Amino acid sequence: MSMLIKSLKYITPCQSRFSRQSMDAIVNEQYTTLRSNIQGCLDDHRMQLIEPREKEGFPSLKRMLYELQSKKLPRKLRIRARRERRVVQGILKILHNRPDIIIRRTDKSKVFYVGNATVFTEKASKYMLETEAYREISNEHCILSENHHLVISLLGSLLKNGAINQEQYRQISPSKNRSELAHLHFIPKPHKPDTPLRPIVAAIHAPATQLSKFLNDLLAPVFLRVARETTFINGIDLVRTLEKYVIDKQLKPTTLFVSFDVENLYTMIPRQGALIALI
């Protein structure tokens, strides 16, 4: 329990030293993850790697990972790593023998949720009934194949009518070998009364995901341009806006700062209304 209390911020030390994987496999896995994270950060800030730095930086990163994996652990750290490995294995054994217990990452707060699996399932079922936005697949009907066919048919029609070109068609067409059906799961929100659940739709490999990203790239700049005066990009943008608000003498003793929460935001937006707004 003490390890769970340390939450997600805590990293059990040096566990890769007990892995059955080869050093090459471990380093390649770590390197791929780090490189992907670095590239993601650069993309988020619309930055590009300068070629000389890319050629020097990434090989240096890989060499450093090899050095870290090859370095002999100090005695105290090795003992601690083995002890905590046994603790983790003990936790996994307990969870395997206790199907009534559920552990989940939480929404926003960096802690673990440990709760009753039956209560968690009841909350998830209640949410699905109230929103009527999701349904359980209870037969062998292949919805994934249907979704894939619908997306391909739509893209073929767009290509034929000149709405997209051949390169765009290639980029946003789903891969039949990699496609996965989007599925719903939940993470708890312990910072709110009665610990409600936040619905998460895992759709990274869904047939329509690339098409969705394509539309977002087209529509996001339009939205940001139209809603710029009432949209904060990040915390710094908020501070600068407030500073301007003060300079313009708009901040008064009667000014109210209001926060609000919309329940089931995404499922309550009418699809037809959204299309009309876009048109």
pLDDT of residue 122: 95
Distant-in-sequence, close-in-space partners of 159: CB < 8 Å, separation ≥ 6: 165, 166, 169
| Residue 81: both structure tokens together | 């790593």
Mean pLDDT over 120-131 rounds to: 92
The structural domains of the chain, with segments of one domain joined by +, span: 1-97, 98-236
- For residue range 238-254, what is the model confidence (pLDDT) as tens digits? 899 899 989 999 988 89
Residue 193 and residue 134 in contact, taking contact as beta carbons nearer than 8 Å: no
DSSP SS3 for 115: strand
Angle at Cα 115 formed by Cα 2 and Cα 87, nearest 5°? 30
Please list the residues that pair with 201 across neighbouring strands: 184
- Rounded (10°) CA dihedral 209, 172, 179, 47: -60
- For residue range 141-187, what is the model confidence (pLDDT) as tens digits? 788 999 999 999 999 999 999 999 999 999 999 988 889 999 999 99
Residue at 219: amino acid letter = L
3-class secondary structure per residue, 137-173: CCCCCCHHHHHHHHHHHHHHHHHHCCCCCHHHHHHHC
- For residue range 46-62, what is the model confidence (pLDDT) as tens digits? 677 666 766 677 888 88
- Alpha-carbon distance of 91 to 9, in angstroms, equals 18
pLDDT band at 16 (very low <50, low <70, confident <90, very high): confident
